Amino acid sequence: MMDMQAVRVLELDTGTVVVLGCPGGKVRVITPGTFRTSEAAPHGIGSMASLPNDLGHGGCALAAQVEGTGGAQVVRVWFGTAYGHAPRPANYSTGSLADSEVMCGQVHTCTWSPSGGFSGTTTVALQPGSSFGSGYVVTGLAVADLLPSSVHAGDELVVTTLSGDVLILDPGLGSGSLIFRTHVVGAAGCYNAVLVEDTDGDGAKELYLGGSRGLWRFVTPVE
Ligand SMILES: [Ca+2]
């Protein structure tokens, strides 16, 4: 059973929000309305906000978490696409493609808050020649504190691709955010089949990926 649903439900102090990663390249946040509780009171209609910019094509990977406290709470969203908006290759009919002209998977991050809406977008392109290495079709994302603090402090972002790439990134997606990179046979993490959990209870989390060739289990250096 596979589909391309990218849905996350988060609880803020102000109520529940639903984050959607849409295949067409949009990130949307739905604030549900109220349920009907009596004959006299109709259902409340919720609202939906859309990220103004279109982030590419084939979006199917999504992670989200609540950051901050009280009135400063924001939802941070990570969204993965099959490929982004690439320019028409300059020498399409006669020459080879430049690295920047190769269609590649992309990972994006932005924030949303009840009072401020969407804000900022940072994009990482898995292009040939980049520090991230190449990757096509981002299939899965998860944010969690996977690695021990001696390797990387705070949370990490797990990124998987249709071509079997497995990347561990700093969630800020700045330059040099690649922490670890490996490759598995077949597709990895479709679609959001990524779990970070301490299933054996030894205090160290493992990384599990659903793949087209089976289930992959990675352990951290402290296990
Ligand atoms: Ca463990």
Residue 63 lies in a domain: yes
Residue 90: inside a domain, yes or no?
no
For 52-95, write each residue's pLDDT tens digit: 999 999 999 999 999 999 889 999 999 999 999 877 888 888 88
1 has pLDDT over 80: no
- 133 burial level (CB within 10 Å; 0-12, 13-18, 19+): middle
Residue 115 counted as domain residue: yes
Distance 147 CA to ligand 1 centre (A): 11
Report the separation in Å between the CA atom of 217 and the middle of ligand 1, taken as the mean of its atom positions: 11
Q: Left if phi > 0, otherwise alpha if psi is -120 to 50, otherwise beta: which for 40?
A: alpha
Calculate mean pLDDT across residues 120-135: 90
For residue 135, tell me if it sits in a domain: yes
pLDDT at position 42 over 70: yes
Give the largest CA-CA distance in the chain: 70
Q: How far apart are CA 17 and CA 31, in angstroms?
A: 5
Q: pLDDT tens digits for 175-197?
A: 789 999 999 999 999 989 999 99
- Mean pLDDT, the chain, integer: 92
CATH number of the domain at 59, please.
2.130.10.10
Cβ < 5 A residues, ion ligand 1: 198, 200, 202, 204
The number of CA neighbours under 13 Å toward the Cβ of 85 is 8
CA nearest to 193, candidates 65, 103, 60: 60
pTM score: 0.92
Query: Is there a contact between 173 and 124 (Cβ–Cβ < 8 Å)?
Result: yes
Residue 96 lies in a domain: no
Range of the domain at 116: 7-33+46-85+103-219
- What is the tens place of the pLDDT at every residue in 20-37? 999 999 999 999 888 888
Say how many domains are in the chain. 1
